[in-house]
Structures are given as C-alpha cells and as structure tokens.
Amino acid sequence: MSQPGVLLDRDGTIIVDSGYVGSVDRVEFIDGSIEAIAALNRAGIPVAVVTNQAGVARGYYGIADVEQVHKHMIAEMARHGAHVDLWLFCPYHPDGIVQAFARRSADRKPGPGMALAAAEALDLDLAKSWVVGDSPSDVGLARAVGAKPLHVGPAGSAVDNVDTFADLAAAVRFILGDGELAMVTRDERPVKFPAARFHRADSYGGAYVNELARAFATVDLEQVSRAAKILNDAHDRDAAIFACGNGGSASIANHLQCDHLKGVRNGTGVTARVLSLSTNVELFSAIANDLGYEHVFSYQLQSQARPGDVLITISSSGRSPNIVRAIDWAVANGMHTISLTGFAGGAARRRAHVCLHVDSTNYGIVEDAHQACMHLLAQYVRQSRMTPDAVASQTF
C-alpha cells in the first residue's frame, strides 16, 4: 500500500538561500535541518528533495554542479545520521539563456512533475503526504497534487491559509506530532528512536532496520581490528578470555563463550580458554548477596584471572558499577580490556583499552549491534586460522 512521505524544498528550507547556490562552498545548512531529516528517517517516513534549479537554464552553473552540491549535502547529512531517499531537481526555465533548458516544464514547481515522480519512485500516497518549503511555488506544488503544504520562513513571510513554521525543525515536529519529537541541536547526536508512535509493524520494522544500519555504521573499524588482534594474541598465548554483562548483555557474554570455545575451535583445533562471568547463578548471587552487586565480576576475576588475560565487557550504557569496577581491576592487574558500549559510552568507553562503541540510545539496537560485533570477531578469528580452501568449504 502507498505510504505518506515528505517532499522538501532545498534552498531556504534545508540550506540557506543565498541566491542560486551552485557550488559546494556556498552550501550552508540551516540550523536543525539535518536533525529534522534524521527524525523523519527514524520515523520511517520517506523523504524526497524537490528543487527548482533555474540557475542551470540561466547559465549560472551546470547539471554537474547541481549534482556535486547534492553529493556534498548527502555526505554531510550522513555524518549526522540523516539521509534523503530521492533527489529531484528541475533545470528548466522559459526565460533561460541555455537553449537546452530554456523552456517550460511540468517539473518546475508549482507544476506537479517532481511530486508525481517521487510518488512513483517511493510509492507515496500524495494525499497523505506533506510538501515543505519557503515559497508560494512549494505551496502551489502541494495543492497541485493534493498534498498538505507547510510553509517555513521568518516572521512576515507566511502564506495565507497555510500552516507556517520558523524552520524545518519546527515543521517536522508538527508532522511527527507536537510534543512527541525532541529535536536536538546541530552539534548533538540523534538521541531518540522511535521518535514518534508507529501504527503499522511493517513501517516500524523498516525504520528499525534503517536505524540498526545507521548505528552499526558508527562502530570504529580500527577498534574492531585492535580487538581482533587482542583476541588472536590471547589464543596464541593460551591466555584466558573473560566476558561479562548484565541483562541482555549477559546473554551476549554467554554467547561469546560458545562462539569462541566451540565455534573458533571448529576447523582450527584452537582449544581456547573462554569464560563468561555471567553464567554461574549460585556464585553470582552469593557474591551479590554477601558483598554487593557491584562486585559480582571483579570478585571472580580476582580468583581466576592472571596478567595478560583478556576481559570483554558488554554494557549498553557503559555506566554499570559492576562493569566499571571489573574494567578498573583488570587494567590495574595487567589484563587487556575490550568494552562494547552504546548511548554515551560511560566510564567503560573511556577506561577500556579498546572500545567498540555503538552510537544509539535504543537498547535493542545497541544489543543487536553488540551481538553482531561478537559474531564478526569470533568468525574473523576462526577464518584467520584456517587455510583458504578450508574457509571456502566450511559453513560459518
């Protein structure tokens, strides 16, 4: 079934309209616009840019220049966790001086062409969609295709009988529901998923997958490489590897023991010494009851760990006292430490030797990414100890 979407003007809505912006050096994002687009992404709402670029017809710049500006905008948005699903522009104008583009076009706003193209490409129901822009031509486009117009701009620029907002951030708050979206400043990370209520599981599923992909892409691959080196070195030295976590993270720690003890050995012959500190409920509860929950991991390390061993901690917040205490003890006693964190990362992110940090504030997203990190490290270690023919013939 067709879905609602948001069609955005470019100049004056996403970036500052300084007059025929045809080069990267003139691109200046309006405060909050990238975060607003990211919020639409997290809500699973398709976003298309529809922009008149008469500067091409007037000879101010060429098609390649428009595309270069859009490539720059795409890269900058990606750095802040935002993306546009479809970029459309109209280079035509009847008063142009470049012959190839000097004509009328149904694509030129307020003509319906770009909106109809977006609807076909993204499977949009235009009657349930919004067009957001700073000019009467944007309002005209919305009315031409039966969409809902939203005007953005400074005080005094309002269009009659159209909801007007100071900027794109305010318009997106309106689209997603007043009070349901906490917009963030340009220097902050995306902080909320979901940002608004979903009414269909398939829409939520699509948004969840997109957020998971975005969050997993924030993991520093250099840190992954360093973690893999520590693990491989530990197996070479017959050092012990300990893992620990609370709640859902405890299941990842337990799974890690399985993947290294059983999985890595399959096809390599490596008899690894890997232990989860989250498994023994009798010992775990005895320590918690007699000494306090903050000691459940460090107390076990004091008896079992030796200098040169490895500690892997899994904590979405990175702030759990038992996790931080375990890292501190391990570092002080000559162990190598790897932390898996999310949210802001907490002390675990700062104090471990290596940190695989997932930039998300959704526990499910963080834990899914941590599970993927655990799997990829174990599989990398396993395949690195096999011949090319064995890798090709084995199932991973």
| Secondary structure letter of residue 356 according to DSSP | E
Name 133's bridge partners: 151
The pair phi, psi for residue 310, each rounded to 5°, is: -120, 140
Beta strands in 235-322 (DSSP E): 240-245, 273-276, 310-315
CA proximity to 340, closest of 386, 361, 371, 378: 371
Whether 9 is catalytic is yes
Is 107 noted as a catalytic residue in this protein?
A: no
Direct distance between the N- and C-terminal alpha carbons of the chain, in angstroms, rounded to an integer: 37
- Kindly tell me the sign of the dihedral angle through the C-alpha atoms of 56, 59, 63, 68: negative
Instruction: Compute the distance between CA of residue 138 and CA of residue 131 in angstroms, rounded to an integer.
Output: 7
Q: Where are the beta strands (DSSP E) in 246-307?
A: 273-276
Catalytic site residue from 9, 134, 167, 368? 9
Give the C-alpha separation, 331 to 354, whole Å. 12
- In angstroms, the CA 91 to CA 372 distance is 45
For residue 167, the SS3 value is coil
**Catalytic, out of 11, 134, 138, 368:** 11
- Residue 261 DSSP SS3: helix
Catalytic residue positions, numbered = 9, 11
